[in-house]
A = this chain, B = another copy of it.
Amino acid sequence: MNEVKISIIGAGSAVFSLNLVRDIILTPNLNGSTISLMDINEERLNAVYLLGKRYINEANAKFKFEKTTNRRESLKDADFVINTALVAGHDRLKKGWEIAKKYGYRFGGSFHVMHDEAFWINFYQFKLFDSILNDVLEVSPNAWYVQLANPVLAGITYLSRKYKKVKIVGLCHGFTGVYHLADVLGLKKEEISFQIPGVNHFIWLTHFYYRGENAFPIIDDWIRKEATTYWKKCYPSCDLGPKAIDLHQKFGVFPIGDTCTPGGGSWPWWYHINEENEKRWNEDPKAWWESYFAHGKRRVEELINLSKDTSASVSNRFPLKKSNEIIVPLIESIVCDIPRVLQVNIQNSNNFVPGIPSNFEVEIPALVSKKGIQGIETEGLPKPLTMYAIRDRVAPVEVELEAYESKNKELLVELLMMDPWTKSRELAVNFLEDILSLPYHEDMRKHYK
């Protein structure tokens, strides 16, 4: 028995928390552990807590289950701090997008504007990250800090440099897109193996095996014979749509998960120059986001209903079946010394992805065990994709972080000058002022001089 304390920051995200509870229930090695839910929204926290408690009882599992609105209380003696919090919600994101559209911004490689890692969202995330990490340093300096909250790319880059004493790792379920690919190809999840290096939201399948044999020919066979049929029924901006296939054929490797979908910023811009072109590629980022937001809203509503209906079975709604998420496997591997190769986001300190700066984030496979998280050296990406990564992801993120740290508004303009849709410097300045002048952006206005 390995009793650890797992603190979940932002636990009011009901779907996330219940998924995590479920995976922990299904991991008997962690029996007796403590799960501490923390959120500043007491109402949501309570609802999730009551649901989780019912879930654990139904499964007759052995966990200490706690809740608190006091972060330091939750962090105290924590072995794992899981950050899934989002400070500024979707309404603010969408309001910013509305303004941006007037300035000619479009979805498509616009990573800091028309994407959920918009600079006016990230700013509040950075402040939260700093505040959590400072608490961790004081209250639970030996804990693992596991970040699921976006931006993983900028966040892990920033925190790994600044809080060198803390054990930091980012997780993103984007890589599980490879299971979608396997499923569509008719390959069993358990029989594939893969390498998907890159930087977060820009990861590419470079090695793909099915029962030990190169599975790229299976992809290419599917493209020849079945893709067009599949595209007739798949949703717009699908991760296996014509855009993904085109990118695969151009670069040799395969974009996984959010790499080219709206969730990852709809890279690159040239599929998105106008609606006609988007249609041609079966792309509709606007519809994709609407469906994403609606889906999230529906699930929250379902959970609220479930929490009110105290006679209902939680496990009926959330059948006890392990998810694809790797948070609990990661915890188990570290705590119980069960070595696993998992997809993680860490600093590129050992040239895990050649061509990405060594003090920048990368997403790579790592060996996870009691020893910790040991990144695995990959062959990286084909040269042009490495260059797109440093051009479209490294450079703007560095400018965004420099802007945040130096509190220099001018650098936010430079960030915008790197956006593919910025039409002129004047428009960028005006757009920035419009964003900053939103009533709830007082903190940001004060920060950036």
Contact = CB atoms under 8 A, between A and B. Distances in A.
A402 to B, nearest CB: 4
Given A355-B357, A417-B268, A424 B387 contact: no
Contacts of A185: none
Contacts of A387: 394-396, 398-399, 418
B399 A395 contact: no
Contact of A398 (B357, B383, B411, B424): B383
B390 A425 contact: no
A402 B414 contact: no
Interface string A392-405: 00111011001000
Given A270-B424, A277-B424, A423-B273, A418 B402 contact: no
Given A273-B423, A355-B357, A417-B270, A395 B388 contact: yes
A396 to B, nearest CB: 8
A410 interface: yes
A384 interface: yes
A391 interface: yes
A395 B402 contact: no
A399 B424 contact: no
A250 interface: yes
Interface in A381-439: 383-384, 386-388, 390-391, 394-396, 398-399, 402, 410-411, 414, 417-418, 422-425
A384 B402 contact: yes
B399 A384 contact: yes
Interface in A202-216: none
Given A357-B355, A414-B384, A270 B425 contact: yes
A360 to B, nearest CB: 10
Nearest to A274: B424
Nearest to A355: B357
A288 B414 CA distance: 27
8 contacts: A250-B410, A273-B423, A277-B424, A355-B357, A383-B399, A387-B394, A387-B398, A390-B391
| 7 tightest Cβ-Cβ pairs between the two chains A and B | A387-B395, A391-B395, A383-B402, A270-B425, A391-B391, A384-B414, A387-B398
Interface of A: 250, 268, 270, 273, 277, 355, 357, 383-384, 386-388, 390-391, 394-396, 398-399, 402, 410-411, 414, 417-418, 422-425
